[in-house]
């Protein structure tokens, strides 16, 4: 089991550590799952198209329309799991250019 603190932008308060146990994420302000992305507060689900492919920036921008809040994106699939890696992106919403794969944790 690997934990990682979510990095907050300058001047913001960091989110709690994210418990990257297989198939789950734990944290008082974090909601997520292996099969998609849930957003803090709204818990809206966004399904990735397939595998570990990156969705385009427009898709993420529109999906992350929660003003002034944080989102955590966890990517997982059979190919990701077999390589023992989980990619996570943490950023503030409403940013025009989202950096993908900002952090990577080993779970295997």
Mean pLDDT by 10 residues, the chain (108 residues): 43 42 34 33 33 34 34 37 35 33 31
> Which pLDDT score is estimated for 62?
33
> Which pLDDT score is estimated for 2?
41
The residue ranges of every structural domain in the chain are 3-106
**Separation between Cα atoms, residue 56 and residue 43, nearest integer Å:** 21
> Which pLDDT score is estimated for 104?
31
The C-alpha angle 26, 83, 3, rounded to 5 degrees, equals 25
Residues ≥6 apart with Cβ < 8 Å to 51: 77, 79, 80
Which pTM was predicted?
0.16
> Which pLDDT score is estimated for 69?
33
Q: What tokens does 107 get?
A: 């779970």
């Amino acid at each position: 089991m690997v934990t990682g603190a979510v990095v907050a932008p300058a001047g913001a308060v960091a989110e709690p550590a994210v418990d990257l146990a297989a198939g789950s994420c734990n944290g008082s302000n974090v909601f997520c799952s292996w099969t998609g992305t849930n957003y803090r507060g709204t818990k809206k689900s966004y399904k990735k198209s397939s595998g570990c492919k990156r969705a385009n920036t427009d898709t993420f921008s529109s999906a992350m329309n929660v003003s002034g809040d944080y989102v955590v994106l966890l990517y997982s699939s059979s190919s990701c799991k077999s390589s023992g890696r989980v990619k996570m992106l943490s950023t503030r919403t409403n940013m025009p250019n989202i950096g993908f794969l900002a952090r990577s944790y080993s779970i295997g």
